[in-house]
Structure 1
């Protein structure tokens, strides 16, 4: 991570971004060679792949976060149709709709950050059950205790160096209210209604509770 930050200081702003298949990516965090390697990636039967939209706390395991509640939503254009071409990682809604198609896939488990935040112990039980792990209640509680946001933030200096406080911000549900203007909030509501309202993933995200 430190070497990447040093590289960021050595290249121009224009060089920090590139397009791959029409989507804008940050070169420091996502080297193009990584994306090219995915084209020939062959998954093994016992592989576990964690997938998430960047800065959302989402192949067999997927973690999602309600769009308005994501730290990335502070840069809200990436969530709005027609503007995703101007920001890194592309459209949140394209990402979410791709996983909506996997809701019935027995090899895919979709977990939301809000669910884990509400009851982390139950989330550990569900995830361990999905993978066929038989955990004792003591093991469930130990994993839950060591997986809280505060616990991970405390150890961030060891795991992520100086980037720890950047990656682990607040971990709060509803913090979007401190960053969105009323107009931005309405834009997000309209975008969610257009793309995810009426879908099973949209229902699971519980947008009305967390983002309105």
Structure 2
């Protein structure tokens, strides 16, 4: 993930530019009762997503915003590279860049899913969506899903600073204003507690692996080992250490301008527990 990702940074840069010319009331829209950011999502995209065809070998990361999905995406991208016998962080070929898609499933244009049919397996996808808003084919295919969970207090704190730093989301003058929105489902992607409750129904499924931000932070070596085993990726000791080192907060923050463009300054704040 160290390599430059043009389509990723282009979409984020456009979203920020569009948001700067929008009224705060225009930044969010509702779809099936949940708010989403209008600069990266759309009702048309959600309608197109319903007919998306999942594959049994898709690799899916599910987590509410600010649960650590960018961090764990780094780990999973490196594990996929190793499974394909590639060196993590190596430059992509021109062909790889042409096939690249923004990894968050619900972000982008409605034609995205047709393009994704041409992506080679395994496809890697991230989502902030509740399970009932994902395509039914994902669950029918029994694709493996890594379910990322984080302490709600840290999620709320991180989301508060994120909203106030990213023009694509409404900002809040005070923590109290934010907290009211956070607890009353007036946030992008809805209520975190409802999100956890809905995903909890799938936690015991054979193809779903719950993991907490805290346990991965406390013992990243064991965490990466367990994630690799769940997705069937064999690691040498050297490869294990490389994945752990490349996914450290310090390493990701250092490379954030290359991997995430101007968004990197907003995205990587502290990456800590009990903030």
Q: TM-score range by the shorter chain?
A: 0.7 to 0.9
Q: Give CA-to-partner distance per residue, 1:39-85, whole Å, 9 cap, x none.
A: 112211111111110111165112111111211266333542xx11x
User: Does the C-alpha gap of structure 1 residues 55 and 34 become closer, same or farther in structure 2, counting only changes over 3 Å?
Assistant: farther
Could you tell me whether the CA contact under 8 Å between 1:65 and 1:114 is conserved in 2? Answer: yes
Q: Report the more deviating stretch, 124-133 or 21-30.
A: 21-30
Structure 2 residue aligned with 1:31 = 42
Question: Residues of 1 paired with 2:60 and 2:48: CA distance?
Answer: 15
Q: Report the more deviating stretch, 1-10 or 137-146.
A: 1-10
Match of 2:55, SS state, is coil
Are 1:92 and 2:192 counterparts?
yes
Gaps of 5+ in 1: 176-212
Question: Residues of 2 paired with 1:158 and 1:66: CA distance?
Answer: 29
* Residue pairs, 1:150-165, within 5 angstroms: 150-165=250-265
Question: Residues of 2 paired with 1:55 and 1:37: CA distance?
Answer: 26
> Could you tell me how far 1:11 is from its partner in structure 2?
2.2
Q: Give CA-to-partner distance per residue, 1:105-129, whole Å, 9 cap, x none.
A: 1111111111111011111100000
Question: Residues of 1 paired with 2:181 and 2:274: CA distance?
Answer: 18
Question: Residues of 2 paired with 1:173 and 1:32: CA distance?
Answer: 35
TM-score, normalized by length of structure 2? 0.59
Q: Which has the higher helix share?
A: 1
* Residue pairs, 1:1-212, within 5 angstroms: 1-57=12-68, 60-70=145-155, 71-72=158-159, 75-80=178-183, 83-84=184-185, 86-175=186-275
> Could you tell me how far 1:14 is from its partner in structure 2?
2.1
> Could you tell me how far 1:38 is from its partner in structure 2?
2.1
Could you tell me whether the CA contact under 8 Å between 1:63 and 1:111 is conserved in 2? Answer: yes
* Number of residue equivalences: 172
